[in-house]
Chain A
Amino acid sequence: EAQVTQNPRYLITVTGKKLTVTCSQNMNHEYMSWYRQDPGLGLRQIYYSMNVEVTDKGDVPEGYKVSRKEKRNFPLILESPSPNQTSLYFCASSPQGVRDSPLHFGNGTRLTVT
């Protein structure tokens, strides 16, 4: 089944403790992206990647890192999480860019930072 898989689904952590949210897609998509969803704000892009070893900042990249060492994987790293990073995170992928191709979303990771 074609899908984007995120893990974990739920994560509670404390301020400053490094964490990684994994994302994997099995559709051989070139484009991958991370979003955070906050009430009343819709989805905001954190980082995206057009291909292996090619990443770029979205609208809200501060406090996050990403890597794209393999085409299928695009982990999101929070080196020193803070409470304002409590949010619902989505990973998404697309065959090529997003102007004409739909995004395929994972089921989300709900992160709480205390």
Chain B
Amino acid sequence: AQSVTQLDSHVSVSEGTPVLLRCNYSSSYSPSLFWYVQHPNKGLQLLLKYTSAATLVKGINGFEAEFKKSETSFHLTKPSAHMSDAAEYFCVVSGAGGYNKLIFGAGTRLAVHP
């Protein structure tokens, strides 16, 4: 069965410092993996996706994630945090239903301090 674990429920960084949001997954086949971001009072927006092409995936707003099959990880990073990055981030894996089902992690709330 597919599952996804976000290792931190809250992450706090200072503006201008690196961001690391950790995600581990389990899947019985080659998964598709996504990161979505949710700003307050908004729906989720796709940041980036991995679908078995390059293992280093670049997304919007300077975020990137690296697919590491040996570690079953898909951590999200950004070199320098901006105040506007404060939001909740969800790691998502395609589920057993393949084309119809996604499994969402519990979310990581990112706070960015001046």
Interface residues of A (CB under 8 A from B): 4, 31, 35, 40-45, 48, 50, 56, 58, 90, 92, 96-100, 102-103, 105-108
Contacting residues, chain A, for B34 (C-beta < 8 A): 102
Question: Which bucket holds chain B's interface residue count?
Answer: 20 to 34
Q: Bound state CA distance, A98 and B51, in angstroms? A: 11
Q: Bound state CA distance, A72 and B105, in angstroms? A: 28
Contacting residues, chain A, for B100 (C-beta < 8 A): 31, 48, 50, 56, 97-98
Contacting residues, chain A, for B98 (C-beta < 8 A): 97, 99
Q: Bound state CA distance, A40 and B86, in angstroms? A: 18
Q: Which of A45, A90, A96 is close to B102, meaning CB atoms less than 8 Å apart?
A: A45
- The answer to whether B42 touches A107, judged by C-beta atoms less than 8 angstroms apart, is yes
* Number of A-B contacts defined by CB within 8 Å: 60
Query: Chain B at the A interface: mostly helix, strand, loop or mixed?
Result: loop
**Residues 92-106 of chain B, each 1 if its beta carbon lies under 8 Å from chain A, else 0:** 001000111110111
> A55: shortest Cβ distance to chain B, in Å?
11
Question: Quick check: is B56 within 8 A (CB to CB) of the other chain?
Answer: no
- The answer to whether B43 touches A100, judged by C-beta atoms less than 8 angstroms apart, is no
- The answer to whether A40 touches B43, judged by C-beta atoms less than 8 angstroms apart, is no
- CB-CB under 8 A for A99 and B43, given A40-B106, A42-B105, A44-B104: no
Q: Bound state CA distance, A35 and B104, in angstroms? A: 10
- The answer to whether A43 touches B43, judged by C-beta atoms less than 8 angstroms apart, is no
Question: Quick check: is B9 within 8 A (CB to CB) of the other chain?
Answer: yes
